[in-house]
Copies of this chain bind each other. A is one copy, B any other.
């Protein structure tokens, strides 16, 4: 059993200017913290979430089964990111459906649910809003910002947007931008949602329906890309659901179909369709090199953090080659960077799973950080 986690909220009334030019006059961020902020306030670690996760990074909620945080294997007392040493902050992104201001909230101007009118947010917008919260917690400089996948993009962005405020940036299973194939998969997911007649142009809340069909397809497509070909073959292969083929085009024949349908079903029951659109778009848009003639080295020139970059060999969604682009650009800027390619079989999902080679590396890296923190505190 893990420790008890308690979600908290913080409201902001200073307007947040977004990349799109729009602004959010008021917003709230939901977050959780684990461990204690030290006197020097230099032991804080911010965890950024990926597509479908939230602020609930570690621990459990009382009396709620299956409520363990999404990165509980990585973060907690005695874990690789040790909450006996670090004050860890899990934060829910703007536009999400898990507590921070998002499409399911009331638009204060129209007094209707935002729905599809919620402003489009970018990775940089998230980072800017996260900085307000970090600031309000009295933290001037984070010991580390850490995330996997889209969370890794935020960790990278923090080092660019607030170079003075990040000591270490931990970028896992990520990329400096999405390639065409990834955008293509996101677009299939979005079209499945938008074309669902129950999407109602993104204002389905008023009709008291949910575009569940679209969400299911979106999640099924996503799931395929999170797993490696090999893991899918070893987990499911061509195993049939029944003893024999049923000769049916509409019923489940293979175990892999059953698995995907189940994942789609589950997802469609808890995830907001507009949030899915917003978050996949933030993924598509992220491209810090674009303002530097696509020169990532120049884009990363302003960073001051040290970096830990990790990729997984079987991850075809965010392949090692993409992580190496980041590493190369950092080295060209003479930044401190540790890079590892973990030979895990699980594809993109590997960043969420326990693998000793992976977790030991993170543990060692954070142990090094904590040594410097201790010495800072004792000064």
A247 to B18, CA, bound (A): 11
Contact of A120 among B220, B235, B247, B280 (CB under 8 A): B247
Task: Indicate whether A102 reaches chain B with its CB closer than 8 angstroms.
Answer: no
Task: Indicate whether A39 reaches chain B with its CB closer than 8 angstroms.
Answer: no
Q: Chain A binding site: helix, strand, loop or mixed by DSSP?
A: helix
Residues of B within 8 A of A266 (CB): none
Binds B, one of A47-55, A83-91, A252-260, A335-343: A252-260
Task: Tell whether, in the assembled complex, residue B232 and residue A180 are in contact, meaning their CB atoms are under 8 Å apart.
Answer: yes
Task: Tell whether, in the assembled complex, residue A254 and residue B217 are in contact, meaning their CB atoms are under 8 Å apart.
Answer: no
Could you tell me the distance in whole angstroms from the C-beta of A169 to the nearest C-beta in chain B?
Answer: 23
Task: Tell whether, in the assembled complex, residue A181 and residue B229 are in contact, meaning their CB atoms are under 8 Å apart.
Answer: yes
Task: Tell whether, in the assembled complex, residue A183 and residue B238 are in contact, meaning their CB atoms are under 8 Å apart.
Answer: yes
Task: Indicate whether A195 reaches chain B with its CB closer than 8 angstroms.
Answer: yes
The contact size tier of chain A is 35 or more
Evaluate whether A195 and B180 lie within 8 angstroms (CB atoms) in the complex, with A187-B257, A188-B260, A248-B120 already known. Answer: no
Could you tell me the distance in whole angstroms from the C-beta of A153 to the nearest C-beta in chain B?
Answer: 14
Task: Indicate whether A202 reaches chain B with its CB closer than 8 angstroms.
Answer: yes
Task: Tell whether, in the assembled complex, residue B116 and residue A249 are in contact, meaning their CB atoms are under 8 Å apart.
Answer: yes
Task: Indicate whether A46 reaches chain B with its CB closer than 8 angstroms.
Answer: no
Task: Indicate whether A213 reaches chain B with its CB closer than 8 angstroms.
Answer: yes
Residues of B within 8 A of A185 (CB): 224
Task: Indicate whether A369 reaches chain B with its CB closer than 8 angstroms.
Answer: no
Residues of B within 8 A of A247 (CB): 19-22, 119-120
Residues of B within 8 A of A290 (CB): 238
> 19 other contacts beyond A120-B247, A185-B224, A196-B213, with CB at 8 A cut-off?
A21-B247, A120-B248, A180-B229, A181-B233, A183-B257, A184-B220, A184-B223, A184-B260, A187-B260, A188-B260, A190-B249, A190-B250, A195-B216, A195-B217, A202-B250, A217-B217, A221-B221, A238-B290, A248-B281
Q: List 27 A-B contacts (CB under 8 A).
A: A20-B247, A21-B247, A178-B238, A179-B229, A179-B232, A180-B235, A180-B236, A180-B256, A181-B227, A181-B229, A181-B233, A183-B254, A184-B232, A184-B257, A187-B256, A187-B257, A187-B261, A191-B217, A191-B220, A192-B217, A195-B217, A221-B221, A238-B287, A248-B281, A249-B274, A249-B281, A253-B281
